[in-house]
Structure 1
Amino acid sequence: MKYKIGYFQSGSVSVLVKMATKANPLEGKTLKPESVRSQLETSLERLQMKSVDLFYLHMPDHNTPVEQTLHACNELYKEGKFKELGLSNYAAWEVAEIYTICKYNSWVLPTVYQGMYNATTRQVETELLPCLRHCGMRFYAYNPLAGGLLTGKYKYEDKDTVQPTGRFFGNDWAQIYRDRYWKEHHFQAIALVEKALGQAYGSNPPSLTSAALRWMYNHSKLQGALGDAVIIGMSNMDQLQQNLTCSEEGPLLPAVVEAFDKAWHLVAHDCPNYFRPAIPEGDLYLCPCVYVTLGDSGKLLQLFDPTLTSQVSARYFRAGIGNL
C-alpha cells in the first residue's frame, strides 16, 4: 500500500483525496489579512502541502471589514495557496454581499458553502439555498444526523445520567450541541418518525440513521447535479460503512417522508440558526432587522430573523444588540 497526499492507492484502486482547511475568528484569531494568511500558511505547513483544494472562511468576523478579508484571500489565491474559496456559517445576506464584492473587484469568487442541514433542521431552505443557487455555489451539509440525535440512540430523560463521550457529552462542544438539539420537542419529532417507519415498513424497518440519511440524499433540497454534498462523520469503520450504504439505499416510502415533514414542523419554531453572528453585545451594526413592541410597555413581541429579508422591507435599520 502506498500513500501520499492527493491519492490513496491500494492494488488497482485509486481514490482522489481533496484537502480543505479554514480560517476563523476564534481563540484569539481574527479574519484580518495577517491572521488569514497565518492560519492558511500554518495549515499548509502542517499538511506539508503547497496548496489546498478548498479554503473556508469558517464564520464572520464583524470586527474586521469584509473587504479586507476578501482581498487577503484573493492575494493567497493568486499565490496558488488554495484552489477554491468557501464560506461557512454566514447569513444569506452576507453571502450575497461577499459574492458581490468579489465579483465587482474581480477577486476569487466563493464557490462552496458549508452549512447545517438535516431532516429536522431546515432553516437554510428559506433564503440561503436560493441565494447559493443565484450565485452558482455548491452546498455541503454538515450535521446530517443532528450531531447523532437522528440515530435514535439518545433518550431525552437520560440527559442527566452518565453518557459516553460524543457530540453531546464529554467534550468542549457538548453544551453547544445540547443547546442546539437536546430539546424535548426534538425527541418527540424523532418518535413520530420512528412510529412512521414501523407502520410503513412493518417488522423490518430501516434504522432511523438510514432514514435520516436517505432523506438527505433523496428528499431534501440538495442537488447532486449542482455539486451539493453531505458531510458524513464516523468514529469507527462500521459507522463509515453504514453511512456509505445509506447513500445507495434509495428513496423512502411517502408516509415516512410525510412524517419527516411533520417532525420538521414540530421543531421549526426552535430551529438553531445556520449562521453565527458573532456580534459583541452592545455594539451597533447595519442589518435588516425589525422588532415589534406591545403598546407602550416596550415588551418585545417578536424578533424577526435578520437574515430572512422576506420578513422585512428592503430598508436597512440600525439595530442595537443588547439585552432585549
Structure 2
Amino acid sequence: MKYVNLGKSGLKVSEVSLGTMTFGREADEKEANKILEYYFDNGGNFIDTANVYAEGKSEEILGRALRGKRNNIVLATKVFFPTGKDFNEKGVSRNNILRAVENSLKRLQTDYIDLYQIHCWDYFTPIEETLSALDYLINKGYVRYIGISNFSGWQIEKALKVSEVNRYEKIISAQMQYSLVVRDIEMEVMPVCNAEGISLVAWGPLGGGFLSGKYKAGEKPKEGRIAVAENDWEESWDKRATEKNFKILEKLEGIAKARNKTVAQISLNWIISRNVIPILGIRTLKQIEDNMGAVGWELTQDELNELNSISEPEERYPYRFIKSANKR
C-alpha cells in the first residue's frame, strides 16, 4: 500500500479509501467489522462515511469499531442531505453544519473529524456562510481539514477565492463520481483540482458495480445497487447499459485475463494510475478481498492507452474549440 498527501496538507492517506455507505444497510455490523479488519490489515487508513448513510447507522458502527484505533485512522464524513423533516435539517447553513457535526461526533464516538466534507453544492446558502462555519469548526478543533463533494469547477474556484479573501482554511479534497464509464470531471473539475493542489477522491469507481465484471449486454441485473437504482440516479442500469460501456467492459475483460487479475482490479488500478483515490464501496468481505488486489502493481502504458482510448469522453465546446485554437 502506498500513501499520499491529501491536497497541499501534510495529512497522509492510503491510496485507496474504504467507503461505508453499505454499513448498517447491505452490510450488518458483524460483516462491517470483518471488512474494516481486512482493510486495516492490508494497510488502509482512510475511512469515508456520511451522516445520512443508513440514517446514521454507518457512523454508529464506525464509532464502535474504531475504539482503540482512532489515532491511526483518517476519518472523513459529510454534511448536506436531509436528516429530518425540518427545513433547517438540510444543506450547509451554519445552523445545520453545527448541529450535524455535533451529532456526527456523538455517533462516531470521537472528539474530532479528520476530514469534514460538504456533500453537495448548496444553491440556497451563501458559500461565505458555509466556509465561515467550517473555519470555525477547525479553529475549535472539532474538524482538522475540509473537503467538498459534487461541485462543479467554477464552484470549487469560488470556494477557494472566498477562503483566500477571508483567510479561511481551504478545501484540500474533492470527492467526485469518476470511473472508466464516467469521466466527466476531466473536462473542468480535474484541471481545477490539479492546478489548485486539491486531491481527487472517486466515488463510484466501479460505476455502481457495472465494472465488477458480472454484467452482460442484454441481461438486466436482478440484484445489486445498479439493479434497484431509479433511472434518474447516477448509477442506474439505463445509464450504464450503453454500447460504448459494454465495449469498455470487453476491453477490461481482455486485459484482466491477460494479467490474471479481475475486471474490478483493472478498473480500480486505472483510477489509481491517474493520481485519484478510489473509494471502495464494499458490501461483503469477499468484495474487499478482491478490490484490495488493485494495489501493489501497475498497468503498462499500452494497457493504459487502450483503456483511455476506448473510454475517452466526447469533447465538447468550448474545450474542443480551445484545444483546436491552440494547436502549434
TM-score normalised by the chain length of structure 2: 0.68
1:101 corresponds to 2:175: no
For residues 17 and 126 of structure 1, what CA distance do their matches in structure 2 show? 33
Matched with 2:263 is: 208
Counting strand residues as a fraction of each chain, which structure ranks higher?
1
Contact 2:268–2:291 (CA under 8 A) maintained in structure 1: yes
Question: Deviation at 1:230?
Answer: 2.0
Contact 1:167–1:173 (CA under 8 A) maintained in structure 2: no
Question: Deviation at 1:107?
Answer: 0.9
Once the two structures are superposed, the pairs formed by residues 129-208 of structure 1 within 5 Å of their partners are: 129-159=190-220, 163-164=222-223, 166-170=224-228, 175-178=233-236, 179-195=238-254, 201=258, 205-208=260-263
For residues 320 and 217 of structure 2, what CA distance do their matches in structure 1 show? 34
CA 1:110–1:234: 2 relative to 1, 3 Å: same
For residues 131 and 156 of structure 2, what CA distance do their matches in structure 1 show? 12
For residues 241 and 231 of structure 2, what CA distance do their matches in structure 1 show? 13
Tell me the amino acid that sits aligned with residue 209 of structure 1: A
Matched with 1:7 is: 69
Tell me the amino acid that sits aligned with residue 215 of structure 1: W
Contact 2:213–2:249 (CA under 8 A) maintained in structure 1: yes
RMSD: 3.1
Matched with 1:250 is: 298
For residues 277 and 242 of structure 2, what CA distance do their matches in structure 1 show? 27
For residues 321 and 82 of structure 2, what CA distance do their matches in structure 1 show? 31
For residues 193 and 49 of structure 1, what CA distance do their matches in structure 2 show? 41
Larger of the two Rg values belongs to structure: 1
Counting helix residues as a fraction of each chain, which structure ranks higher?
2
1:68 corresponds to 2:129: yes
Q: For residues 186-242 of structure 1, what are the alpha-carbon distances to aligned partners after superposition, in whole Å with 9 as ceiling and x for unaligned? A: 1232124434555xx2xx743212221222223x2x1xxxxx522112222222122
More contact order relative to length (CA 8 Å, sep ≥ 6): 2
For residues 94 and 177 of structure 2, what CA distance do their matches in structure 1 show? 27
Residue 47 of structure 1, aligned match among 82, 85, 108: 108
Question: Deviation at 1:72?
Answer: 1.4
Matched with 2:306 is: 259
Contact 1:144–1:232 (CA under 8 A) maintained in structure 2: yes
Contact 2:149–2:176 (CA under 8 A) maintained in structure 1: yes
Unaligned runs of 5+ in 1: 9-14, 223-227, 272-302, 312-324
Q: For residues 124-170 of structure 1, what are the alpha-carbon distances to aligned partners after superposition, in whole Å with 9 as ceiling and x for unaligned? A: 223222211332221112222111111121123122x6x12x22124
Question: Deviation at 1:25?
Answer: 4.2
For residues 50 and 62 of structure 1, what CA distance do their matches in structure 2 show? 30
Aligned residues: 255
CA 1:231–1:196: 2 relative to 1, 3 Å: closer
Tell me the amino acid that sits aligned with residue 69 of structure 2: Y
Moved over 3 A (4+): 1-6, 25-28, 170-176, 195-198, 308-311
Matched with 1:80 is: 141
For residues 136 and 247 of structure 2, what CA distance do their matches in structure 1 show? 50
Unaligned runs of 5+ in 2: 1-36, 38-63, 323-328
Question: Deviation at 1:67?
Answer: 0.9
CA 1:186–1:113: 2 relative to 1, 3 Å: same
Q: For residues 33-54 of structure 1, what are the alpha-carbon distances to aligned partners after superposition, in whole Å with 9 as ceiling and x for unaligned? A: 1011111111112112221101
For residues 267 and 190 of structure 2, what CA distance do their matches in structure 1 show? 20
Contact 1:6–1:18 (CA under 8 A) maintained in structure 2: no
Contact 2:200–2:277 (CA under 8 A) maintained in structure 1: yes
Question: Deviation at 1:180?
Answer: 4.0
Tell me the amino acid that sits aligned with residue 183 of structure 1: T
Moved more, 256-265 or 62-71: 256-265
Matched with 2:29 is: none
1:23 corresponds to 2:79: yes
For residues 172 and 112 of structure 1, what CA distance do their matches in structure 2 show? 28
